[in-house]
Amino acid sequence: MESSCQRKALAIADKIESHLGLKVKLSEPMHKHTSFRVGGPADFYLEPTTVQELSAVIDLLLEAGVSFKIIGNGTNLLVSDNGYRGAIIRLGPRYASWLREGNQLWAEAGISLPVLAKRAANEGLSGLEFLSGIPGTVGGALYMNAGAWGSTIGAKVVAAWVLKGQEMVQISRTELDFAYRYSNLQKQTILAAQFQLQEATSAEIQELMAGYLRRRQESQPLGLPSAGSVFRNPPDLKAAKIIDELGLKGMVIGGAQVSPVHANFIVNLGYATASDIYRLILEVQSVVEQETGIKLKPEIEQIGFTSP
Ligand SMILES: Cc1cc2nc3c(=O)[nH]c(=O)nc-3n(C[C@H](O)[C@H](O)[C@H](O)COP(=O)(O)OP(=O)(O)OC[C@H]3O[C@@H](n4cnc5c(N)ncnc54)[C@H](O)[C@@H]3O)c2cc1C
């Protein structure tokens, strides 16, 4: 940031801190907040803990003309090496309450999916086992209707809550629309969701969860930083199979590699830049299109890059 920008940023941070008592980090490296472990600085970084704090922060940012982005665990994000011009607002473990109501669980957006799956298991409630190996939050999962092993989070949701002005507004099931890696909540700030579950024994639930986790360990490169599947599956096809059949497993650019374990994962070998990963995505897309005519669309969200 230039020095006049720096002064302006300091003044905005000061205002937020003095009005709300909320810590604002300036030039916060995004590699600390993304599962790829890459990404340059966000001008501002905040972790509000209540709806009131969140809405007040957003008001102050809008008043100052600062753009913002809500994130969860950063497990579906590729942030550029130049970072993000604006404020990253994280709804994570500091915004992660949950509550049982009969056979339903209500959960705030920041709760991690594996934590929520474990809570449900402890309560003897079945239905969220498939989330146990997805490292995102409820907010991030609702945003893109995360799913695995034939189940999707959208199918379990009976209501969601979003921020409208300073209010927490409920959206009922009939107003919600979920499809493959899509939800109509994508323009909203997601605050919470309620899930419909069924009673089951703890042993049954644990067995399902263990099975899902084992299948993941066998088929995914969990020891290296990644953001899960990079490309969406084209209709009736599997992106991983297409990439694998073209012999692209193991392809490397800088410190980024098409995983030899799972062709739809790109992993950070430990020294990747966001640019390495971005260029590898483009290269895979280009080879696949040349060889098959199929244009793979990224599933992961790319932030701060100048061209798509
Ligand atoms: C090892 C690994 C395995 C994975 N396996 C799967 C899988 O099986 N299935 C699957 O679907 N995904 C998978 N993923 C991808 C990822 O975990 C999911 O997409 C997850 O739902 C993202 O949640 P997040 O909190 O990390 O979101 P982030 O990456 O932080 O954000 C993703 C998007 O959601 C938005 N967002 C986040 N929170 C909110 C909110 N509260 N309000 C509004 N918008 C919000 C962000 O702005 C961004 O646009 C995997 C990732 C990894 C690293």
The contacts of residue 293 (CB under 8 Å, 6+ apart) are none
pLDDT at residue 5, as a whole number: 77
pLDDT at residue 2, as a whole number: 58
Q: Which positions of the chain have pLDDT values less than 50? A: 308
pLDDT at residue 307, as a whole number: 61
pLDDT at residue 17, as a whole number: 93
**Which residues on adjacent β-strands are paired with residue 108?**
192
Determine the distance separating the centroid of ligand 1 and the alpha carbon of 6, expressed in angstroms.
31
Q: Cα(109)–Cα(167) distance, rounded to whole angstroms?
A: 15
Which residue has the CA at smallest separation from atom 9 of ligand 1?
Answer: 147
Which residue has the CA at smallest separation from atom 53 of ligand 1?
Answer: 227
Nearest atom, ligand 1, residue 225 CA: 53
Question: What are the angstrom distances between the C-alpha of 36 and each of 33, 78, 175, 299?
Answer: 9, 7, 34, 14
Domains and CATH numbers, the chain: 3-90 (3.30.43.10), 98-218 (3.30.465.10), 221-303 (3.90.78.10)
Residue 229 among the catalytic residues: yes
Determine the distance separating the centroid of ligand 1 and the alpha carbon of 73, expressed in angstroms.
7
Active-site residue among 112, 126, 132, 229? 229
Cβ 74 vs Cβ 59: under 8 Å: no
Determine the distance separating the centroid of ligand 1 and the alpha carbon of 100, expressed in angstroms.
24
Site to probe by mutation for ligand 1, drawn from 134, 176, 188 as the one with most ligand atoms within 8 Å of Cβ, is 134
Determine the distance separating the centroid of ligand 1 and the alpha carbon of 63, expressed in angstroms.
29
pLDDT at residue 283, as a whole number: 98
Residue 181 among the catalytic residues: yes
CB neighbourhood size of 221 (10 A): 15
Cα 92 from chain centroid (whole Å): 11
Q: Cα(51)–Cα(48) distance, rounded to whole angstroms?
A: 8
Residue 28 among the catalytic residues: no
Stated pTM of the model: 0.96
CB neighbourhood size of 170 (10 A): 13
Question: What are the angstrom distances between the C-alpha of 75 and each of 190, 229, 254, 301, 302?
Answer: 17, 10, 21, 10, 12
pLDDT at residue 1, as a whole number: 52
Q: Cα(185)–Cα(141) distance, rounded to whole angstroms?
A: 11
Report the pocket of ligand 1 as residue ranges, CB < 6 Å: 35, 69-77, 91, 109, 134-137, 139-141, 143-144, 146-148, 189-190, 222, 226-228, 301
β-pair type (190-196, 104-108): antiparallel
Can you spell out the DSSP letters for 225-279? ---SB-BPPPTTS-HHHHHHHTT-TT-EETTEEE-SS-TTBEEE-SS--HHHHHH
Site to probe by mutation for ligand 1, drawn from 33, 73, 76, 138 as the one with most ligand atoms within 8 Å of Cβ, is 76
Cβ 219 vs Cβ 254: under 8 Å: no
Active-site residue among 181, 216, 232, 279? 181
